[in-house]
Amino acid sequence: MRSLGSPHLHLSSVDSTNNRARQLAGAGAPHGTIVTADFQSSGRGRQGRDWIAPPGSSLLVSLLLRQPPELLPLIAAISVAEICGPAARIKWPNDILLGEPGKPQAKVAGILCEGRPQEDWAIVGVGLNAALDLDQLPDELRSRSATLGLESDQRAQLLEALVSSIESTLRLPNDQVLAAWKLRDALTGQEIGWLAGDSEQRGTASGISESGGLLVVLEDGSQVELNAGEVHLAAAED
Ligand code: BTN
């Protein structure tokens, strides 16, 4: 039985579906509420960045979960990757990448999980380039972006698939969530850079921890665990 996706508020335009879902959460909306939009005037990404999507080009959805699981960011990433096909990979913590043969992988979806732990709810915000014409993007984003190449009116079907996918992944025990995530891991074995305060650090990504942190081996052989909320992977890796 369907537990997510109702009530569903669809807006032709909104500042940010995450903002609207947060308001609804604070006003007592039930577990499973979703907000979708054709256009966001102030779509938000991780690390304070903007999320840009021309009208009708993308699946823009925010889902309210009450009593969210600890591994929610990973669960969301697996669920989105599933609907993007077997080639989709996840760049920690939850960017979804797609590649064409001979080309570097590019971002097809981003996920912004925001919560209010003291009230025991979280919002999963997904921006998925479903029907995006890459030529509509600013130059600096175009080469790093991918699209599913669907028609705009196929977004409703994609939303159904996403909701089902999240429902299924939420039912997995943690060890299976970690295993599913590892199968799609785009970073393991890659040299990565990140900012720790003002200093840039480098190391080799070596998987994720049981709590979903990124494990990185430093040059001296020691291992550190990076937390998604604290770490900003350097621009070259972004
Ligand atoms: C990222 O990759 O930085 C995360 C992007 C998340 C964008 C989605 S679009 C729907 C929802 N509403 C927002 O304002 N942001 C998320």
Q: Render pLDDT for 146-173 as a digit per residue (tens, 0 to 9).
A: 999 999 999 999 999 999 999 999 999 9
* Residue indicated by tokens 């919002």: 123
- In this prediction, residue 25 carries a pLDDT of 97
State the closest ligand 1 atom to the C-alpha of 45, by its place in the atom list counted from 1. 3
- In this prediction, residue 178 carries a pLDDT of 96
Residue 231 pLDDT more than 70? no
Q: Is the CB of residue 224 less than 8 Å from the CB of residue 206?
A: no
- In this prediction, residue 234 carries a pLDDT of 59
Mean pLDDT, rounded, of the chain: 92
Does residue 94 have its Cβ closer than 6 Å to ligand 1?
A: no
Does residue 177 have its Cβ closer than 6 Å to ligand 1?
A: no
DSSP state letters, 97-108? EE--TTS--EEE
Residue 141 pLDDT more than 70? yes
**What are the residues whose beta carbons fall under 8 Å from the beta carbon of 228, sequence distance 6 or more?**
73, 92, 93, 94, 212, 213, 214
CA of 53 to the centre of ligand 1 (A): 10
Pick the more confident residue, 20 or 103.
20
Domain positions in the chain are: 8-184, 191-235
Which CATH code, of 2.40.30.170, 3.40.50.300, 2.30.30.100, 1.10.3720.10, is assigned to 191-235?
2.30.30.100
- In this prediction, residue 229 carries a pLDDT of 66
Q: Which DSSP category does 146 fall into?
A: -
CA of 98 to the centre of ligand 1 (A): 18
Tell me: the pLDDT tens digits for 86-105? 999 999 988 999 987 677 89
State the closest ligand 1 atom to the C-alpha of 18, by its place in the atom list counted from 1. 12
- CA distance to 1, 3, 33, 92, 145, per residue, from 171 (Å): 13, 11, 18, 21, 31
Does residue 62 have its Cβ closer than 6 Å to ligand 1?
A: yes
8-184 and 191-235 share one fold: no
CATH number for region 8-184: 3.30.930.10
CA of 112 to the centre of ligand 1 (A): 5
* Residue indicated by tokens 């650090």: 201
Does residue 17 have its Cβ closer than 6 Å to ligand 1?
A: yes
CA of 113 to the centre of ligand 1 (A): 9
Residue 238 pLDDT more than 50? no
